[in-house]
Amino acid sequence: MRLVLLGPPGAGKGTLAAFLNKELNIPHVSTGDILREEMKNNTPLGQEVKKYVESGGLVPDEVVIKLIENKFSSDSAIDKGYMLDGFPRTEVQAKNLDAILNNLNKQVDYAVYLNASLPVVIERLTGRRICRNCSAIFHMKNNPPKEEGICNECGGEVYQRPDDNEETIKTRMDVYLENTKPVIDYYEAQEKLKKVDADKDSQEVQENLMKIFNGGR
């Protein structure tokens, strides 16, 4: 299956992607993860994008489009399908993605829209913690690591993303509303949009989505 995951930051795209990765065995491609890795390794690309990522703004379209183009043309793992998370975030990115995928004959099957509200997003993101090593996701209230600061899955260091603070979350939500809403309309017009209520907990979201996939709604 070839999927695009859409929704505001904190809607649960990463958690859903981890579930679908196990359930459907399709690779997860997250532009946010790729950019953070570049920043961690202090590459020229990492240095270029740091100021955008840390402030909650968007990295310029041409930079992320190139990144996705390279990923799709070089990674044979995506032959079995893919889940794109965090891309496309603008209409320009959506149109360029279609052009790239048409060339490769790997068009998107569905765009899954995780619809979550601002209070829920703030609660989730301010409590979110992530494993630096395996990207497992925790929440300080709902799902804390068994041992503070240590990942249950792999023993890696659990950290808080610097952009998961309330002020930057609000900026990211504004940026999302302005830029990503047109992307939702774009997939709706293509009749590929599958909408899920993402204020619900992750298990309910997963069950609802699997019902949609199985019923073809």
Beta bridge partners of residue 145, listed in sequence order? none
Buried b (16+ CB within 10 A) or exposed e, 50-67: eebbeebebbebeebbeb
Of the candidates 124, 128, 129, 194, the residue annotated as catalytic is 128
172 has catalytic annotation: yes
Ranges within 92-111 binding ligand AMP (CB under 6 A): 93
**Judged by CB under 6 A, does residue 9 bind ligand AMP?**
yes
**Judged by CB under 6 A, does residue 53 bind ligand AMP?**
yes
Sheet containing 128-131: give its strands across: 137-139, 128-131, 158-159
Ranges within 157-186 binding ligand AMP (CB under 6 A): 172
**Judged by CB under 6 A, does residue 31 bind ligand AMP?**
yes
36 has catalytic annotation: no
Of the candidates 95, 132, 161, 192, the residue annotated as catalytic is 161
Q: Which of 11, 20, 64, 108 contacts ligand AMP by CB under 6 A?
A: 64
Return the residue nearest ligand AMP (CB atom): 32
Of the candidates 71, 89, 129, 194, the residue annotated as catalytic is 89
**Judged by CB under 6 A, does residue 35 bind ligand AMP?**
yes
The answer to whether 195 and 114 are in contact (CB under 8 A) is no
Q: What is the CA radius of gyration of the chain?
A: 17
Q: How far is 40 from 121, CA to CA, in rounded Å?
A: 25
Catalytic residue annotation: 13, 89, 128, 161, 172
Residue ranges in contact with ligand AMP by CB under 6 A: 9, 31-32, 35, 52-53, 56-59, 64, 86-87, 89, 93, 172
